[in-house]
Amino acid sequence: MDEPPTEPPTFSAESYFATQPPPSTLDTDVHGVREFLARQRKQGRKVVLVTSGGTTVPLELNVVRFLDNFSAGTRGATSAEYFLKAGYAVIFMHRQFSLQPFSRHYSHSTNPFLDFLEIDSPPPPTSDAPYPYTHDPAPPAPLQPQITVTPTERIALASVLRAYKAVHEHGTLHTLTFVTVNDYLWLLRAVSQEMSVLKRNAMYYLAAAVSDFFLPRQKMSEHKIQSGKGSLHIEMDQVPKVLKPMVAEWTRDGYIVSFKLETDQTLLIPKARQALERYGHQVVIGNDLHHRKHRVVLVSPAPGSSFAKHRAGKPNNTHADGIIPTDYIESWIEIDPSPPPSAPPKEIEEDIIDELLKRHQAWVDSGAE
C-alpha cells in the first residue's frame, strides 16, 4: 500500500511559541512597555508600534553564522519621527544597531557626525609653565577645548535636536531591541497583547523585514558547524504567519498596517491583496526594493466590500465566517526621485504617515458608540 503523502513540517503560531524559548529579556521588556502604556493612556495619546530593521536566523546555538534580512531601518526610524511629530506615542521595536529616530540623520556611514564638528584647541603650555615640566603637586586644571558645529550644519542639527529633546521631555518614545526572528516574534506577540487595552487607539506599523524561514532550536547544532565535509545542506522550517493570530487574537480592534517587499513590481498588488485576504487586517503597503524611497502603494479593502462591513461590525472575527474582501482600493504615493537641489528635502514617509493618520482617525471614529 502506498504511504500517504506527508505534509511539509510547518509551525503554527501556537506550536512555535510552545517549542521555541522566549528571549531572556522578555519579562523586563514587557514590564517597561506596560509602564509606558499606562502613562500614555493617562494622557489620552494614541500609540503606534513601529517595527524596524531585519531579523537574523542563527545557524548554531553558539552562534557564529546567521542569515540576515535586508533592511537598514530607514523606513521604520523615519516613520517613527513623523508619528511622534503628529502627537502619537511610539514603541520603536528595532533590530539592534539599526537606524533609530533622530540619530538616523547622523548615521556613521552616510553622514558622519564628527565631520560636522570643529575644535578650537587651547593654546599649548608656554615654556615657563610649571606643568607638565616639573613635579608640581597641584597642576592647573586642563583647559577645556571649545567644540562647535560647522555653521552650515547648525540649522539642520538644531531642528533635529529640538525634536529629539521634546520627545525625551514628554516621554513619548519607548525603544525595544531584537536581533533574531525568535526575539522578534516573542516581542511582537507580547507588545501586541499589552497594547490591546488601547483598542482602536492602537496602530501597528510592521516595517521590519522578517525572515520567512528559520531553524528550530531542536535542529540547531550546538557548536560552530565544521567545514571539510563539502557543501552544507540546511533544511529550514517556515516561520509561522503571525499576522493571523495578531489580527484575530492578540490585538483588539487595533489598526494594522503591514509591509510587503518585492523585487518584481508586478507582484506588489496581487501579493498585498493575498495578505489582506489571509489575515484580515486594514492596510498592506507594497514597496519594491529599488523604488521604495520614492514610490509605495497602499492596498486596503474598499469601503463597502463585504470584508469592510464585516470588520466594522465584528472586528475580531475577520475570517471565522469565511468572509473576505471583495473589492480593494489602491493608493499610490510617490515623490520626485531626483528633485532639484533647491527643493526642500522630502521623505516619502511624511506622506505615508499623513495618509495613515487620516485612516486611523476614521477607524477610531467608526468604532465610537
Residues that bind ligand 9Z3 (CB under 6 A): 71-75, 206-207, 209-210, 258-261, 287, 292
**Partners of 237 in beta bridges:** 214
Question: Cβ 237 to ligand 9Z3, closest distance in Å?
Answer: 16
For 107, counting Cβ atoms within 10 Å of its Cβ (0-12 exposed, 13-18 middle, 19+ buried), the class is: middle
Question: Cβ 110 to ligand 9Z3, closest distance in Å?
Answer: 12
Residue among 37 and 72 whose Cβ is closer to ligand 9Z3: 72
Question: Cβ 94 to ligand 9Z3, closest distance in Å?
Answer: 10
Contacts for 191 with CB less than 8 Å, ≥ 6 apart: 29, 30, 33, 49, 91, 93, 176
Question: Cβ 328 to ligand 9Z3, closest distance in Å?
Answer: 17
Question: Cβ 360 to ligand 9Z3, closest distance in Å?
Answer: 19
Question: Cβ 69 to ligand 9Z3, closest distance in Å?
Answer: 6
Residue among 258 and 305 whose Cβ is closer to ligand 9Z3: 258
286 within 8 A of 279, measured Cβ to Cβ:
no
Question: Cβ 78 to ligand 9Z3, closest distance in Å?
Answer: 8
> Which of 11, 349, 33, 77 is closest to 211 using CA atoms?
11
Give me the DSSP letters along 31-99.
HHHHHHHHHHHHTT--EEEEEESBPEEESBSS-S-EEE----SHHHHHHHHHHHHTT-EEEEEEETTS-
The verdict on whether omega for the bond into residue 21 sits within 30 degrees of 0, i.e. cis, is no
- Helix 348-366 / helix 74-85 crossing angle, nearest 10 deg: 60
Residue among 20 and 74 whose Cβ is closer to ligand 9Z3: 74
Residue among 260 and 295 whose Cβ is closer to ligand 9Z3: 260
Going from the C-alpha of 130 to that of each of 135, 136, 138, 141, 142, the distances in angstroms are 8, 7, 10, 13, 13
**Partners of 67 in beta bridges:** 57
Question: Cβ 62 to ligand 9Z3, closest distance in Å?
Answer: 27
- The secondary structure of the chain in percent helix, strand, coil, rounded to multiples of 5, reads 40, 20, 40
316 within 8 A of 323, measured Cβ to Cβ:
no
106 within 8 A of 161, measured Cβ to Cβ:
no
Between CA 167 and CA 36 the distance in angstroms is 13
- Between the two ends of the chain, the Cα-to-Cα distance in Å is 62
Question: Cβ 257 to ligand 9Z3, closest distance in Å?
Answer: 10
Quote the cell numbers at residue 73. 531601518
